[in-house]
Structures are given as structure tokens and as C-alpha cells.
Structure 1
Amino acid sequence: MASTSASMEIAATAERVWQLIGGFNSLPDWLPYILDSELSEGGRVRSLKTPEGEIIIERLESFSQEDRSYSYSILQAPFPATHYLSTLQVREIAGRQACLVVWSGSFVPAGVSDEEISSLFHGIYRDGLQALKQRMLATG
């Protein structure tokens, strides 16, 4: 099993960042490569559409308002991986008007090396967090 993690400090309170990203259907609000998200199964499954028209289907596995985190698995995606489980979490930074956002995942490569799949997901997480930081800066 391979894994990766990316984190980024954002100059906003953890509560403010969580308000933007904490909803399981909120990816189109901050992640440029997700154009649309539709919920099903009582809000536990989301179908995501990319700019290329690809569909990614994910299931919410756990959610904690208190910890400002949720974990999800991928049911269908154009990625060369299986057994994908990811967590998105927003952590307070004590004494500062800033927070740390951590996006991590584990997965089994399918037809590629551990390094290749880890690099792919690390790039997605890193670029996603950078987009989130820019979005938070733009909204003041």
C-alpha cells in the first residue's frame, strides 16, 4: 500500500476554512479541477465531474465536525489505484489567525509503481491546497 500527504498553512481561522471545505459536496467551491458535485445515497456518495468530463465517485466514510475532518473512499475514478482512502482535515494553529490543512491518502497502485501513484496523488493534494489558499486570500 502506498500513501502520501500534503499540508499547507492558510492565513485564516480553522473555523472559516472548515466552513468552506467541510461540506462533502463543497469541492466545486474551491477545487478548480472539480466542476460539479452531486450527492446521492442520503449525502454519503458524491459524483464529481472534471473539466475533461471524467466522473469520479466517492463515498464518505467518516465525518467529524469537532475534529474538522472527513475521510472518503473512491468507488470509481480514472486513477490507476484501488483501495483508496483519503482524509481532509483543518487544524487550528494555537495563538495565530491561521490554520494547517492536511490532505492525506493511502491506496494500492494498479499497473503503476508505488512512487508513480504517490506522486500523482501528492500533486493533486498539493495543487488542491494551493487553490484553497488562493481562494481564501481572494475572499479576504
Structure 2
Amino acid sequence: MTGSERGRRGDLFSPWCPTRELLDRIGTKWTSMAVKALAEAAPAEVRFAELRRRMPGVSQKMLSVTLRSMVRDGLVERRVEPTVPPAVHYRLTGLGLSLEGPLSALRDWAETHMAEIERHHLPAEDTPAQAGPRAAPEPPAPAGT
């Protein structure tokens, strides 16, 4: 990488900037969880099956796709032992470790504010601002009236 490439900075507001695609990749819940799980193990490696256990809810395919993308972006190193079946190990690169801080701050913000965000999802009549008892719904009219 040349000095000018290293110093080049993206512009999120430019429709042609690859920063948008990068944010789409690193902004997923699976990438955030993988970075956290791998950072907790750093500098040690984590085998695929162990990483999957540390990420409840992730499917084998989704974890594979996520890790492949992270390897391609230079965030993760992949090492394969030539055993039967092959043992595949992953660990964060320096670049991947540098992503842990910002993602950690975002995860912390989300966990701290989740209840408040969920309150905003309530229908208007269920919000705390509508204090006081609600009127009971009227019973249905008898049939044939």
C-alpha cells in the first residue's frame, strides 16, 4: 500500500464511496458479535465450532459468510489444520482489533438505551404519556339486532 492509499479517507455522503458498503458489512449484528468473541480470546485463535457456540443464534452458514467477509476485509486471519475433518481457526488481525473499540461503544449504547427505544415502539395509546385508566371496550352487540 502506498502512502497516498494509506492516507486516503472515504466520504460517507458520496454515492460512489465504498465506505457505505464497508459500513453495511461491519454494521451487522453477526460481525459485531464475531469481533467481540474474537477480541475476548485475543491473541489466541478460536475454532469455528467454538466461535459458533459463543454466538447464540448464528447459523453455520451465516457465521461462515460473516467470517469470509471479515477475512476478505483483512479483519480476521484464518488458519486451516490439514486434519480430517480440517480444523479451522480464526483470530482478529490488528485491523480487526482496532474495530473492537468502536463496536464495543456501539453495543454498549444499544444495550443501555434498548428499553427507551422499545418504549417508542409502543402504540400511542400505550405510551406512558397517556396516563389514567383506559375505557373498557364496549361488548359486541347481540346478534340479529
Is the structural similarity TM-score above 0.5? Answer: no
Q: Into which bin does the TM-score normalised by the smaller protein fall? A: under 0.3
Structure with the greater alpha carbon radius of gyration: 2
The structure richer in helix per residue is 2
Larger relative contact order, structure 1 or 2 (CA cutoff 8 Å, min sep 6): 1
The structure richer in strand per residue is 1
